[in-house]
Amino acid sequence: MITGIVTDNREAVVSLTVSGPNGHQETIHAVIDTGFDGWLSLPPPTIAILGLSWSRRGRAQLADGSTTIFDIFDGSLLWDGAIRRIPVDEADTAPLLGMALLEDFELTMQVRAGGKVRLKRLPKRSRS
């Protein structure tokens, strides 16, 4: 289970350990963003510190309807007790945790300042 907290600004935040190919690790505080269909976004300085390798370019439509092009890097993070390789979108914002990373997890949160945030792995689906 992954846990976090709801901030005074009503943002659900979890701490994650992200690592680059050189073994350097950074603990980040990522805001859960259910409107973000990607995995994780990090600001350029954090990507540089971690030494993440460039992978490709991406395109996204923002909430205001505009389109943006951004770089995608290869990264790793400690996720629910295991190292997971993921694509990392470069964005000049606070780190965001997206829906792709939340897949197969249940998200519950107490939406008030100091409220608990929990991400719990869902049981595997039985095949019929």
User: pLDDT tens-digit profile of 10-24?
Assistant: 999 999 999 999 889
**Which amino acid belongs to residue 100?**
A
Helix (H) or strand (E) holding 3: strand 2-6
Cβ pair 17, 30 in contact under 8 A:
no
Residue spans per domain, the chain: 15-106
Task: Give residues with Cβ within 8 angstroms of 108, minimum separation 6.
Answer: 117, 118, 120
The DSSP call for residue 23 is S
Enter the pTM of the model.
Answer: 0.91
Q: What's the whole-number mean pLDDT along residues 45-50?
A: 97
What is 15-106's CATH superfamily?
Acid Proteases (2.40.70.10)
